[in-house]
Structure 1
Amino acid sequence: MDESALHHMREDLTRLTRHLRSHGLHVCVEERTANFVDEEGIQLSTLEHIGRKSDLVIVMGGDGTMLSVGRALRDTPAPLVGINRGRLGFLTDLQTDNMLGEIDKILQGEYQLESRMLLQSEVTRAGKYIHQTVALNDVVIKSAFRLIELEVHVDGLFVSQQRSDGLILTTPTGTTAYGLSAGGPIMHPDLAAISIVPISPHTLSYRPITVPAKSVIEVIVVHAADAQISFDGQGQYPLMAGDHIRIARAEQEIRLVHPKDYCYFDMLRNKLNWG
């Protein structure tokens, strides 16, 4: 982040913190974020403590920040609202220039509450778990430079064996992320479904498939030159031939707070420049 961006971040966070405290609200700031707040006497805390004790968690940043915080707070009841300091901002509804008024409306009860599903992913190698985590957007299996070969099963039923640059397993939230760029469908977030999207398949007849969210998807790595798996694009782990990846709907969900006048289709139209 350049010096100008840091200055504006500090200015916006300080303005927001002071505004909330001026209303007599108890404001707790995440420990590292406090480095960007010029306000005396604020309470500092860990993100987990904030999630467990707060009525509302306000996240300032881009979608990447919302993804990180959402995953971190998946076991807490706190709802999240995002203030966009990124680019597209599919998950961050508010803008910094009108954030104070919009936050006031939300605090007065003028909001929509929405739940978003998560994916639970487990990687097994030679019968042993080597990695497991959750994703709000997607689980991506890919190679940077070569084709990889993957075998896909859904609920124990063989689907296909494909050679491609990789595979995206995406929630409805993630269908406006990497899955969209790879030619996958856009799914409304109220749908309970998982989309399986190939990345540049060697056989062009391989197309995205959408299955019910109750499905269990297993991907077996057949050939894995330079293959890796990532979760929401934030953390990459190497894969080997023979690895098994199990993807299913997680028990936890993320709760998002939207302004009262929020419309999913308005958001798509604005972010994707539809006419």
Structure 2
Amino acid sequence: MERAEWTGTDDDTPLVGIVGATENLDSAAIDRTVSDHDATIVAGSLEETLEQSPSVLVCVGQSALGAVARADASVPVLPVDAGDGVHSVPAAQLPAVVDAVLAGAGLERHQSTLRVETDSETLVGDARGPHRAFFDVALVTEEPARISEYSVTSRGKRLAQFRADGVVVATPQGSHGYASAAGGPLLSNGLDAVAVVPIAPFVTQTRQWIVPHDGLELAIERDEGPVTLQVDDRSLGTVAAGSSVSITTADPLSMLVPDGEWAELESGSAD
């Protein structure tokens, strides 16, 4: 991690952007804190807020954090109540954390994201990608009790071919979500790796894998029903049998971690 360049300087007036589910925030306390540091709050939609070039972006909730990652924002992000697997700040403590950050107690940690593309002819135009994923990527058979066949290749080496309801690839921060519910391992945020987990495999001995987060390919070898490509919380459409999904690394998301006493704040697992 490195110290955030904008913290603790007098060169510019800091702009604090706020996006996401803000209804549970103590807005009055945050306003007072920001005012005490001669800073300014900018808010609105994600697009409107980013257009103001904020110095730091307070991002409330998991969905908002995923949207920020997809937007390829270059601003340091301070996550709030972002769920397990993300080093985030509880909403109740946000005013104090903002105070510490604006006083210069801020470190930047670069969290990996994934670049996702598919060659499926059933998706057209931008739907094929590239897309950015912060939490996970999944291929899922749409209809219950319809088992399809998938393969996993890592850096040119075929790892496995199996029948299952689907397969999910999770980043360390995403390993606490869909992948965990499918029985996958929890990954440390310090790993440059992803977890690959079959969803309801037909053969119970099917393995799970922890592999590098680039050079990964999922393929639909055979389908017994429509298979949907999901990136984070978005469904991108049906992917045809014989198609593949390529997963590589994308530009990381800059996450702001308050240091000092605030570095111990966590809403999820330790790094």
Same fold by TM (over 0.5)?
Answer: yes
Match of 1:98 in 2: 93
Residue 93 of structure 2 corresponds to residue 79 of structure 1: no
Distance 1:114 1:224, change over 3 A: farther
Total equivalences in the alignment: 243
**Deviating more after overlay: 99-108 vs 259-268:** 259-268
Amino acid at match of 1:28: V
Indicate the structure with greater helix content: 1
**Deviating more after overlay: 189-198 vs 133-142:** 189-198
Alignment check: 8 A CA contact 2:88 2:265 kept: no
Match of 1:46 in 2: 48
Distance 1:232 1:265, change over 3 A: same
Q: What pairs with 1:56-135 in structure 2 (closer than 5 Å)?
A: 56-60=56-60, 62-72=61-71, 74=72, 76-84=73-81, 88=83, 90-91=85-86, 93-126=88-121, 130-132=127-129, 133-135=131-133
Partner of 2:99: helix, strand, or coil?
helix
Match of 1:214 in 2: 214
Alignment check: 8 A CA contact 2:58 2:77 kept: yes
| Mapped partners of 2:267, 2:41: distance in 1 | 32
Structure 2: segments with no counterpart, 5+ residues:
1-20
Residue 197 of structure 2 corresponds to residue 202 of structure 1: no
Match of 1:137 in 2: 135
Distance 1:202 1:192, change over 3 A: same
* Deviation sequence 1:63-121 (CA, Å, 0-9, x none): 1221112221x2x321100222x7x4543622232221111011112233211111111
Partner of 2:233: helix, strand, or coil?
coil
Query: How far 1:203 moved relative to its partner?
Result: 0.9
Query: How far 1:11 moved relative to its partner?
Result: 6.4
* Deviation sequence 1:181-233 (CA, Å, 0-9, x none): 11111111111112211111111111111112233324234215131011112
Residue 40 of structure 2 corresponds to residue 26 of structure 1: yes
Match of 1:37 in 2: none
Alignment check: 8 A CA contact 1:148 1:224 kept: yes
The answer to which structure, 1 or 2, has the higher relative contact order (CA under 8 A, 6+ apart) is 2
Alignment check: 8 A CA contact 2:80 2:91 kept: yes
| Mapped partners of 2:230, 2:254: distance in 1 | 23
Alignment check: 8 A CA contact 2:85 2:174 kept: no
RMSD: 2.8
